[in-house]
Amino acid sequence: MQKPSIVTARPTAMAARLVMALVAVQLGACGKKPLARGQEYNCTAKGGRPSSTDGICGADERFTKNLCEPLRCDAGDLAPNCCPGMICMPDGQCIVPSARLDNCERDEQCQPGQRCLERPLMNAASKTCGFPPVDAKGTCPEGGQPFNRRCVTGMPCGGGCGAGLVCNIDTNRCEERVSNRAGFNDGCGQACSAGKMLVYADPDLMLFDGCCEVRCACATIPNVPAGAWGGYSDLAMSGDALWLSAYNASYGDLMFAVLARADMSVRRLEYVDGLPVSAVTAGDPKGPRGGNDVPGPNVGMFTSLAIQNGEPRIAYYDADAKNLKYATYSAVDKAWTVSLIDDGRDATGADTGDVGRYASLAIDERGIAHVAYYAHRVAPTGERVTSPMYARATRELPTGYDTWQRQLVEPIRSCHGCVVGNTCTREGDTPTCLPAATTPCIPACSCDEVCIQDPPQNGVPSSSCHTALPTTLAEPCPSACASGSVCVAATTQVSTCAPSRTDCSPACPKDQACIDEVGVPACRFALPVANMIEPPSGVGLFTSLTIAKGNLPTLVYYDRIRRHLRGAVARFTSDGDATLGFAVGKVACTPGDDVGAHATLITTPGGLAVAYQALGGETLWACAGTDLFTCSANAELVDEGDRPPGALRQVGAYASLAADDQGLLYVAYADQTNNELVLSYQRRGAWQHTVLRTEGMYGAFAKLRLLGPHAYVSTYRREIQSFSGDQSRIDVERIELDELP
């Protein structure tokens, strides 16, 4: 029979024991007597295990389980007699089998959730993979959660052990319980109730060579990992707490959190929507998600949080169903209720498209909810359009689709394809393909216009500006195309990845791509890939809603097709006849520039204020005034993105705007180039800025709220660790406004 591979507790275990025995004899000669057989050593009182110089046992003995036992583990009444995690070999030594160890040199060689650690009681010759210990406070500052004095990120010992087995946290294995002295109730034979696991009560004292008294305990199994949460977040204040709504990327859940304003500690962390139907228990069933770590429906993106009668309300996007949903919390029932706001249905009840991204929720003084959001591609009236949308609840506590009024704010139609050389314009109310001008329009066309070639006037070429419309509203490709291919509109509503070519003649317009179409070069309308990093091609992105002076629902939104910021002001009050619709128009527009992404709109003591990106994200601007459509006439440059001069940065993403009681503006946003969270503010007639978070992945989904002399800023911190996996989460801090330079 082949001898099993083994690793000794230390390189020369027998020699070390002989030295220990000699030391014990010498100490005994000096008047320090070793323990008598059966006499116990108090590990707790002594503060740990005895060392080799303590002289605890005689020359023919070794210390194990708080007692002095025969030197050979195959001798004595308890033979074979070793500490947990070890086995007794034929030569009488206790060793840790190599099969229970994963030797390592660095963390990356270990399983997710484990670290490469110095653990000489297991293997003195090499580091081994294992769960790191908790700190002096019993917490896990580097991630994970405390369980059995270790920091774990998943379920140890496969989730539990069978009868007669105990979870050894340091080998992460279910092992047979060790023998103990007669009449000693070590608790290692007990059966644990649901949600608990049998473990050694103190692994620091009870495992491996020279162990103290061995007892077992039923420990509550760890919660399922919290997951990466904090994206698509929003922030509100209630009393002494901060409320957060957010998306959990690990599970695809809508989450709600309550933090103490005093120290930002988490009071509540709830999984509101997206839980799976299956009852899989991978963690404490009384803990988060009922102990279930299986992803459910993918919901909870683009959250917008508001407070109504002291209770949270959340509008959010259901990514699986491509719908807009609403979650309400009842303080009486202590429960959440989820309902539908919009699913893009038409008069027949058929779901016609994708609605709900970029949700922005406001609750008026009557307690009625208003939501603005983006309709990517939708046909509620029978024709395919892209548009910002507006919904208003018909009661204080809406319960579903029938308790909301919905309308398209500015439906943008399409020609659904034009021949090469033509472009899509609006003539009256009809999308029409007209020839692009070969001579420039004078004066130059505005941001939402295109220059069209008109019939000659008295033999002289003529051109004029017409309202621009998208050539097509085909859905973008669902994922990235392979190298050498490009996403183009295959039909009026469908896109495809087609092989690229470079020999189209004449050359394709700038919004079209040259492709191979059955062996022939052809120009087809180019489309972006549909994902959450690249904003989709449509009108109504980055929607931001407020109830302005006069009780008028007012919103701004980005037109990605024509690359400028637009706005809409209701022709009705918040409780008036919503069928009167909105007055729409340009808010910020610079021909040749890309203006208006990451827009944010608020009310101020003097009227309205807007912040937005320009130059395609290279600068951040803000304007304030009483008229939304003339606001940009006094726009101020918040951040020109050249810090230090000449070092161009991308700035202004996720801009969040706030105003103090004097009307001074503050903006929190991302420096995308350096992954920093930045706060800019007005001082002495100029904009100043300070970096709030750096040396990490900060700035995404920034939110800013003011309360008296304090500012509260939240951001999503992206962090992936080899030990604990994706630990991305919300980071919140308080800023003292009077201490800003």
DSSP 245-258: EEEETTTTEEEEEE
Mean pLDDT of the chain: 89
Of the listed ranges 53-62, 134-143, 582-591, 705-714, the least confidently predicted one is 53-62
pLDDT tens-digit series, residues 475-487 = 777 777 889 999 8
In a domain, 699, yes or no: yes
The pLDDT assigned to 534 comes to 62
Residue 573 half-sphere exposure toward CB, CA atoms < 13 A: 8
Q: What is the pLDDT of residue 148?
A: 96
Q: What is the average per-residue pLDDT within 118-130?
A: 93
Report whether pLDDT(13) > 80.
no
pLDDT at 572: 97
Strand partners, 588: 565
Cβ neighbours of 221 (radius 10 Å): 27
Q: What is the mean pLDDT of residues 511-538?
A: 79
- pLDDT, tens digit, for every residue of 172-228? 999 998 888 888 889 999 999 888 999 999 999 999 988 999 999 999 999 888 889
Task: Please check the confidence at residue 16 and state whether its pLDDT lies above 70.
Answer: no
Q: Given pLDDT bands bounded at 50, 70 and 90, which one contains residue 34?
A: low
Q: Per-residue confidence at 11, pLDDT binned at 50, 70, 90?
A: very low
Cα atoms in the 13 Å half-sphere on the side-chain side of 709: 4
Q: Going by C-beta distance under 8 Å and a sequence separation of 6 or more, which residues neighbour residue 421? A: 435, 436, 506, 509
**pLDDT tens for residues 584-642?**
999 999 988 999 999 999 999 999 999 999 998 999 999 999 999 999 899 999 999 88
Let me know if residue 162 belongs to a domain. yes
DSSP 65: T
Q: Of 299, 326, 473, 495, nearest to 387 (Cα)?
A: 473
Per-residue pLDDT of 634-689, as tens digits, reads 999 999 988 667 777 899 999 999 999 999 999 999 999 999 999 999 998 899 99
pLDDT of residue 33: 60
Q: What's the pLDDT score for residue 725?
A: 64
Q: What are phi and psi of 651, to 5 degrees?
A: -135, 160
Q: Which value, to the nearest 10 degrees, does the dihedral of the CA atoms of residues 237, 395, 381, 576 take? A: -90
**One domain for residues 629 and 704:** yes
| pLDDT of residue 1 exceeding 60 | no
Residue 132 and residue 53 share a domain: no
Give the percent of the chain with pLDDT over 70. 92
Evaluate whether residue 347 is within a structural domain.
no
In a shared domain, residues 213 and 157:
yes
Question: Is residue 563 over pLDDT 90?
Answer: yes
pLDDT of residue 15: 37
Mean pLDDT of 522-545: 79
Residues 430 and 497 in one domain: no
**Residue range 509-538: mean pLDDT, rounded:** 78
* C-alpha–C-alpha distance, residues 435 and 446, integer Å: 18
Residues 125 and 77 reside in one and the same domain:
no
602 and 740 share a domain?
Answer: yes
pLDDT for 242 beyond 60: yes
pLDDT for res 493: 66
Kindly state whether residues 601 and 740 are assigned to the same domain.
yes
* pLDDT band of 38, cuts 50, 70, 90: low
Band of the pLDDT at 91, cuts 50, 70, 90?
A: very high
Inform me whether the pLDDT recorded for 724 exceeds 60. no
Do 596 and 701 share a domain, yes or no?
yes
The answer to whether residues 210 and 147 belong to one domain is: yes
pLDDT digits (tens, 9 = 90+) for 313-359: 999 999 999 999 999 999 999 999 999 999 999 999 999 999 999 99
Residue 365 has pLDDT above 90, yes or no: yes
182 falls within a domain: yes
Exposure class string for 53-70: b at 16+ Cβ within 10 A, else e:
ebbbbbeebbbbbbbbbb
Highest mean pLDDT among 376-385, 453-462, 513-522, 580-589: 580-589
Residue 422 burial (CB count, 10 A):
18
Over residues 98-121, mean pLDDT: 91
Name, of 189-198, 529-538, 713-722, the range with top average pLDDT.
189-198
Q: Percent of the chain at pLDDT above 90?
A: 66
Looking at residue 548, what is its pLDDT? 97
- Name the pLDDT band for 721 (thresholds 50, 70, 90): low
pLDDT value at residue 644: 67
Asked if the structure places residue 569 within a domain, the reply is no
- The arithmetic mean of pLDDT across residues 123-136, rounded, is 94
The answer, yes or no, to whether residue 8 has pLDDT greater than 70, is no
On whether residue 380 sits in a domain, the answer given is: no
Among 201, 220, 239, identify where a domain stops. 220
What is the mean predicted confidence (pLDDT) over 433-454? 92
- Pairing type for strands 539-548 and 422-427 reads unpaired
* Closest C-alpha among 333, 330, 321, 221 to residue 274: 321
115 and 160 in a common domain: yes
Q: Identify the pLDDT of residue 231.
A: 95
* Count of the separate structural domains present in the chain: 5
553 — pLDDT class (breaks 50, 70, 90): very high
Residues with Cβ within 8 Å of 739's Cβ and at least 6 positions away in sequence, in order, are none
Q: Rounded mean pLDDT of 152-171?
A: 90
Is the pTM higher than 0.85? The answer reads no
Q: Examine the domain organization and report whether 702 and 610 are in the same domain.
A: yes
- State which of 98, 130, 158 marks the end of a domain: 98
Domain boundary among 75, 98, 121: 98
| Max CA pair span of the chain | 126
Cβ density class 38-52: b for 16+ within 10 Å, e for less: eeebebeeeeebbee
Q: Are residues 606 and 697 in the same domain?
A: yes
Query: Does residue 65 fall inside a structural domain?
Result: yes
Residue 562 lies in a domain: no
Q: Which domain holds residue 128?
A: 110-220
CB 588 within 8 A of CB 596: yes
